[in-house]
Structure 1
């Protein structure tokens, strides 16, 4: 453990955390998540992560545990624990696929569907509060920039895959 009285090295001391895009995005994500949790917990008795999973299943974007793991960038065991909690609460079920017995799809129960239907209003109210004072043009620009950030990740993933397959081909 470092001594709290020592001066940090210049790399740390000179780094402007408040000017870091990564730090700012992380803080916004954390703030949004906390606000959704407060509202969803008060109104529906679920956390923001549970709300997000219910919404992804309800929307059809993620119907398998592996899809949720990829979407959120978390390991399969963490997703399994989240699904277990939601299943125990009676909000979703696991359904074995009739086409592929190995695949287990996620489906919302009637109560899960009722909760999922209330989530867009919660998400919207949180964003309305956080984007208060933004013009529609500024909000559109922010979304455009965030989409570009995400697209850069997709592009870098394909470059990484291409590099790996080229490397495999040479070996």
Structure 2
């Protein structure tokens, strides 16, 4: 857990939250701020994941493990508060069922992304396997040709 990474993620969450707040002030609907809402939710999820890992301060950073832990917890709590505020605004506009629908859609999209990533990984592994097989076959052909040339040249002498 790198303090710079934490600050970067928190900064992204703060920017998304401020964009949402200013959008709400001018009467913009949450639907039109979907990317900002998604960024905020993603940042909260990343901060939660990072806070689950033990802090690893860099050797000469001058920041103690305790300071890092406090920093991540404070930033995560603030981002969670922003998340809940935006959630409440969403529920006020679209109802609890709308919120639940969004949550189901998030899970559905995450599953699709994981499946696509797994398929891409499998395709990559298959391509690498085919490349290895072709490389070995090519090497075998080259060795056979060299063997034939050596055999022919020895039989001519």
Q: Same fold (TM over 0.5)?
A: no
TM-score where L is the length of structure 1: 0.41
More helix by share: 2
Structure of greater relative contact order (alpha carbons < 8 Å, 6+ residues apart): 2
TM-score where L is the length of structure 2: 0.44
- Which structure has the larger Rg? 2
More strand by share: 1
